[in-house]
Structure 1
Amino acid sequence: MTKVRTCPACSDRVAVGDAFCEGCGRPLPEDVGAVPAGHPDSVPTAPQASMSGAAPPDGPAPDASRGGTRPDLVPGEGAPTAPQVSLNAVSDERPGLVPTEGAPTAPQVSLAAPLATRSDPPAPPAGPGLCVWCPGRVGDGYCEKCGLLQPTGRDHVEVRTHAAVGVSDRGLRHKRNEDAMAIRVIDADAPHAPGVVCAVVCDGVSSSPRSDEASRVSAETGVAVLAERVRGGADPREATGAAMTRAAEAVAGIADSAGSAPACTFVSAVVDPATGTVTVGWVGDSRAYWLSGGPSSSASALLTKDDSWSEAMVQMGTLSREEAMRSANAHALIAWMGADSGEIDAHISTVTPTGPGAVVLCSDGLWNYYPGAQDLTDAVPEAGARPRDAARAYVSLALRAGGKDNITVVVVPVPPGGSRAGHD
Structure 2
Amino acid sequence: MSQTNQPVATGRCPDCEEPLETGDMFCGACGYDLTALPAPQADHPTVAVNGAAAAASWPAPPAPGGSASVQAAADLPGTTSGGTELPSAVRTDDPPGPDDYPLPDPRTVEHTPAGGTVLGAGCVACRSGRIDEDGYCENCGHAQPRERDHMEEELGAVAAVSDRGLRHHRNEDAYAVSSTALPDGSPAVIAVVCDGVSSATRPDEASAAAAVAANEALLASLPLGTHPQQAMHEAILAAAESVNVLGAEPGQALEHDPNRHTNAPACTLVSAIVAGGLLVVGWVGDSRVYWVPDDRTAHPSRLTEDDSWAAQMVATGLMNEEQAYADERAHAITGWLGADAYELEPHTASFKPDRPGVVLVCTDGLWNYAEGAEEMAAVVPADAATRPLHCAQVLVGHALDGGGHDNVTVAVLPFLVPQTGAGSA
Q: Mark yes or no: TM-score above 0.5.
A: yes
Among candidates 92, 104, 123, match of residue 110 of structure 2: 123
Q: Secondary structure at the match of 1:270?
A: strand
Structure 1 residue runs of 5 or longer lacking an equivalent are 1-36, 56-69, 94-116, 418-424
Aligned-residue offset at 1:199? 1.2
Closer, same or farther: CA 89–240 of 1 in aligned 2, 3 Å: closer
- How far apart are the structure 1 equivalents of 2:190 and 2:332? 28
Are the equivalent residues in 1 in contact too, given 2:61–2:230 (CA < 8 A)? no
Equivalent residue number for residue 91 of structure 1: 78
Are the equivalent residues in 1 in contact too, given 2:392–2:411 (CA < 8 A)? yes
Equivalent residue number for residue 202 of structure 1: 194
1:53 maps onto 2:49 in alignment: no
Aligned-residue offset at 1:259? 1.8
1:361 maps onto 2:365 in alignment: no
1:153 maps onto 2:147 in alignment: yes
Q: Deviations over 1:249-300 (max 9, x none)?
A: 110101155124100000111101x3x110111000010111111158x631
1:241 maps onto 2:244 in alignment: no
Equivalent residue number for residue 422 of structure 1: none
Equivalent residue number for residue 385 of structure 1: 386
Q: Secondary structure at the match of 2:353?
A: coil
Are the equivalent residues in 2 in contact too, given 1:43–1:207 (CA < 8 A)? no
Equivalent residue number for residue 50 of structure 2: 71
Alignment of 1:300-319 (within 5 A): 300-319=300-319
Alignment of 1:149-188 (within 5 A): 149-187=143-181
Are the equivalent residues in 2 in contact too, given 1:288–1:303 (CA < 8 A)? yes
Q: Deviations over 1:302-360 (max 9, x none)?
A: 01000001001111111010100111110001110000002113101001111110111
- How far apart are the structure 2 equivalents of 1:376 and 1:176? 25
Aligned-residue offset at 1:88? 3.7
Q: Secondary structure at the match of 2:355?
A: coil
TM-score (norm 2): 0.71
Equivalent residue number for residue 423 of structure 2: none
Alignment of 1:412-423 (within 5 A): 412-415=413-416
Q: Which moved further from structure 2: 72-81 or 196-205?
A: 72-81
Aligned length: 337
Q: Deviations over 1:190-217 (max 9, x none)?
A: 6346311011000000000100000000
- How far apart are the structure 1 equivalents of 2:212 and 2:21? 25
Closer, same or farther: CA 72–186 of 1 in aligned 2, 3 Å: same
Q: Secondary structure at the match of 2:349?
A: strand
Equivalent residue number for residue 14 of structure 1: none
Are the equivalent residues in 2 in contact too, given 1:192–1:230 (CA < 8 A)? no
Equivalent residue number for residue 102 of structure 1: none
Aligned-residue offset at 1:43? 12
Closer, same or farther: CA 415–404 of 1 in aligned 2, 3 Å: same
Equivalent residue number for residue 109 of structure 1: none
Are the equivalent residues in 2 in contact too, given 1:181–1:219 (CA < 8 A)? yes
- How far apart are the structure 2 equivalents of 1:336 and 1:160? 28
Among candidates 248, 265, 284, match of residue 268 of structure 2: 265
Equivalent residue number for residue 103 of structure 1: none
Aligned-residue offset at 1:416? 8.7
Counterpart of 2:147 in structure 1: which amino acid? G
Q: Deviations over 1:382-412 (max 9, x none)?
A: 3223211100000000000000000000000
- How far apart are the structure 2 equivalents of 1:39 and 1:342? 16
Among candidates 123, 132, 139, match of residue 132 of structure 1: 123
Closer, same or farther: CA 191–88 of 1 in aligned 2, 3 Å: closer
Alignment of 1:190-339 (within 5 A): 191-192=183-184, 194-257=186-249, 258-272=261-275, 274=276, 276-294=277-295, 299-339=299-339
Equivalent residue number for residue 411 of structure 1: 412
Aligned-residue offset at 1:72? 3.7
Closer, same or farther: CA 344–217 of 1 in aligned 2, 3 Å: same
Q: Secondary structure at the match of 1:154?
A: helix
- How far apart are the structure 2 equivalents of 1:348 and 1:53? 17
Q: Secondary structure at the match of 1:225?
A: helix
Runs of 4+ in structure 1 off by over 6 angstroms are 37-50, 73-82
- How far apart are the structure 2 equivalents of 1:40 and 1:170? 30
Equivalent residue number for residue 58 of structure 1: none
Closer, same or farther: CA 125–175 of 1 in aligned 2, 3 Å: closer
Counterpart of 1:394 in structure 2: which amino acid? L
Closer, same or farther: CA 41–148 of 1 in aligned 2, 3 Å: farther
Aligned-residue offset at 1:118? 4.9
- How far apart are the structure 2 equivalents of 1:79 and 1:88? 22
Counterpart of 2:313 in structure 1: which amino acid? M
Are the equivalent residues in 2 in contact too, given 1:43–1:332 (CA < 8 A)? no
Alignment of 1:390-405 (within 5 A): 390-405=391-406
Closer, same or farther: CA 126–360 of 1 in aligned 2, 3 Å: closer
Equivalent residue number for residue 142 of structure 1: 136
Equivalent residue number for residue 28 of structure 1: none
Aligned-residue offset at 1:141? 2.9
Higher relative contact order (CA 8 A, sep 6+): 1
Equivalent residue number for residue 84 of structure 2: none
Are the equivalent residues in 2 in contact too, given 1:266–1:286 (CA < 8 A)? yes
Are the equivalent residues in 2 in contact too, given 1:42–1:332 (CA < 8 A)? no
Aligned-residue offset at 1:375? 1.1
Aligned-residue offset at 1:225? 0.2
Are the equivalent residues in 1 in contact too, given 2:284–2:337 (CA < 8 A)? yes
Structure 2 residue runs of 5 or longer lacking an equivalent are 1-11, 23-33, 42-48, 65-72, 81-103, 250-260, 419-425
Closer, same or farther: CA 79–184 of 1 in aligned 2, 3 Å: closer
Closer, same or farther: CA 50–231 of 1 in aligned 2, 3 Å: farther
